[in-house]
Structure 1
């Protein structure tokens, strides 16, 4: 990211996965396998008091990230640094 960069978000999941732009937020289902992600919440919460308050959040430390491995039905498989695979719903967002 650079100073003055416009940050955007999308809630649309296209038919063909896309390669995200650094700093923007996308649903996990919109990203192509191999995309690096961070700040992913395990469960969607409709009205949290603050981000991550009622959910388990992955990859929040500086320099940490996960990789989108594959799409499987309504879920996305991600590989966390610890080599664990997690199944997350397509509509969860990352930053």
Structure 2
């Protein structure tokens, strides 16, 4: 019962956070797609955020790490601080190793 309540609370919290947010219409998504392409994964978005957050002095919360819709909202909310660091990030393809 307790786990179900936690899950329900998390779902409600996430829905409230991304309510009215359309990633495809956001400045952050446009900038991320321009630099990394539109097929960027949630794991890549989290890795980029982890690398940038100390420089941009922003916090990355648990919900943002767990859901792509929330990490995209996190990027939009913090885009003013983050955008100047995106050009320094290079994603490496581990599959060719």
TM-score (norm 2): 0.27
Structure (1 or 2) with the greater strand fraction: 1
- Structure showing greater radius of gyration is 2
TM-score (norm 1): 0.28
